Amino acid sequence: MSRLDLPDLHGLGERLRTTHYGRSLELRALTDSTNDDARSAAREGAPRGHVVVADAQRRGRGSQGRTWDSPAGSDLYLSIVERLALPLDRLAPLTLAVGVGVAQTVEAARLDTRVKWPNDVWVEGRKIAGILVETSASENRSGPLVIGIGLGVNRVEWPAELEPIATSIRRESGRTQERVAILAALLANVESWVNRYADDGIAPILEALEPRLALRGSRVRCGDVIGVLSGLSPSGAICLETERGTLELLSGTLRPLE
């Protein structure tokens, strides 16, 4: 199941510090979407922690039907097969747990990193990573999960519309990064936070998010609701202080208003 097309990622095996993530691995030079590849692999019986990494994607997918710009040679696009059988109402916080793992990976480059609820990671107000967790559900339990992550690693050029809002570790730190080292660290951090969520629930995830939450105290819009972001509820919902009082929102996209 392995197509070794990416020379700079060949050393991953020796660097892995995980129990499951990346122990089964598929490397692709170009694919449509690693989330689709991981979903197919899961259907064919790929084990927990099977990872698909691509150098470039033709149809990289973001949340809410957006596309994920995925050029070759610089960044990381990967999807992890996760076989935790979670009730559907415990699925949303999994994205937050993954966000903490991604943020920790970026912080290792000594960058001040924030998690923008629910699925973005930011540095200096720019998006450095996005997370897309997908599943097929049956009888109120998730089927195999696919955890998709796009992380800006060495990119220095973006299309005009992304240039002011996107970034990479290299852009922020001024240093070219070794993609394989970032990938190994990312897999270890994400596995560790997903395990933490599965074992101990949402409390440790919220504790880790607390100092990293983007836009706290800012006026934001989420769908039709406008308010000041005051924090996260005990269930991982976003709390907005509005004219109608505190509203807790379980999903949506936050947009800063000032």
Binding site for ligand BTN (CB under 6 A): 33-35, 57, 60-63, 66, 68, 77-79, 119-120, 130-132, 148-150
Give the contacts of 24 (CB within 8 A, at least 6 positions apart): 1, 46, 47, 49, 50, 51
Name the residue nearer to ligand BTN (CB basis): 60 or 227. Answer: 60
Is the distance from CB of 60 to CB of 70 less than 8 angstroms?
Answer: yes
Smallest distance, Å, CB 134 to ligand BTN? 9
State which residue has the least CB distance to ligand BTN: 130
Smallest distance, Å, CB 30 to ligand BTN? 13
Smallest distance, Å, CB 120 to ligand BTN? 6
Is the distance from CB of 148 to CB of 132 less than 8 angstroms?
Answer: yes
Name the residue nearer to ligand BTN (CB basis): 31 or 200. Answer: 31
Strands 245-249 and 238-242: antiparallel
Interatomic CA distance for residues 92 and 34, integer angstroms: 21
Interatomic CA distance for residues 188 and 222, integer angstroms: 32
Strands 76-82 and 51-57: antiparallel
Smallest distance, Å, CB 161 to ligand BTN? 15
Name the residue nearer to ligand BTN (CB basis): 62 or 204. Answer: 62
Name the residue nearer to ligand BTN (CB basis): 74 or 241. Answer: 74
